[in-house]
Structure 1
Amino acid sequence: MAGKKINPTLKMVLEFGPIVAFFAAYLKLRDQTVAIAGTEYDGFIVATAGFVPLIILTTAILWKLTGHISRMQIATVVLVVIFGGLSVWLNDDRFFKMKPTMIYLLFGGILGVGLLRGRSYLKLVMEEVMPLEDQGWMILTRRLTAFFLGLAVLNEVIWRFFSTDTWVYFKTFGLTAAIFVFFIFQGKVFSDYGIEEEDEEEEQA
């Protein structure tokens, strides 16, 4: 079910604002240590502690304004709460750094299961946004499955073998840019298999 339309700028702020806020908070606090109830937390953990409620709040606002939240958004918030909460509770940044891995494994796994059943689960959540022929959905789903699994592997490499600074820059800019570039390179799929609104109207006539 499609949600109500809202201002595109407001929508972008609600979707990307928490990530930008996390990045800014980390840059400000990364060299600091905060003592709470006798326990010392580094800047990364403090930034994470702020990110978790913020993404819950912005997602709730988005739901209130549009009347709709996608399954992918819900899954993302749930995993942020789980892994972000574990990082803060156990004072261990590894859990939050693993969160993108879990998200992309989940999305890639769900799409992969659909492919094994001969179906495109991607079509179920995105058909209203970009209508395609069935063959186009299958091609796009196969590519996106491989892409998500690749991002999961890449995230594991970055957080395990590089500095926290590198991971934060990768999380803030690298993942977003990778997804943008991926869809840019799917232009031929959209042009070859896209369904024009006029064609749909003719079929319904």
Structure 2
Amino acid sequence: MADSPAQCISTLSKVALFLSGLRSARRLFKDHRAPAVGLFLLACSAAVGVLPGPLLAGLQRDVEWAGYVVGPALVSFGYLWLSEDRGTAYMLLGGLALLAALRDRLSEETVAVLSRCVALSSLASSLTVCLFTASFAGALGSLALSLPALLGPEVRDLGVIPLFTVKTSEAILSCLMSLGSLATERALRWYQLELKGGC
């Protein structure tokens, strides 16, 4: 019973992440398909994370991986595409596709290391584009979206913030990602307007 307030807060934060990710994906879908799909995957991972039951554990793990690793990489692909760095965008997408294809054949440790490599690459790409375009909302959004993949499950299970329980740390992480999805949406829409204004 003592765990129920933390469980309730964790569930509410995942619902907030689902709603913000879905809203951002819907608003970006017309002009930014890859980031919209990435934010949709993030929303799906939050929705599946709320569902109870041990039978869904495998599905939750796969959808969570897709939301935490594939989602931010697709957002970075959108930034790279807008900045006309198509070569880097294709390299990031190719590495991500290769990791997704080989994921079931690799050990858990190898998948964790390669997932962090993809997360660091996508974060570095996003931050580079955002800092060169002075999009601080985009930089903060990219950092917030990349946190779960960079921390890894073993770190998240210990609690991200030492003073809080694991559930409370999950709630804080979900709230940060909710803000990250909204900031990313705003940054991408602003970047598109800037590009149209500059033409």
Determine which structure has the larger helix proportion and give its number.
Answer: 2
Give TM-score, length-normalised by structure 1. Answer: 0.38
Higher normalized contact order (CA 8 Å, seq sep 6+, divided by chain length): 2
CA radius of gyration, larger in: 1
Give TM-score, length-normalised by structure 2. Answer: 0.39
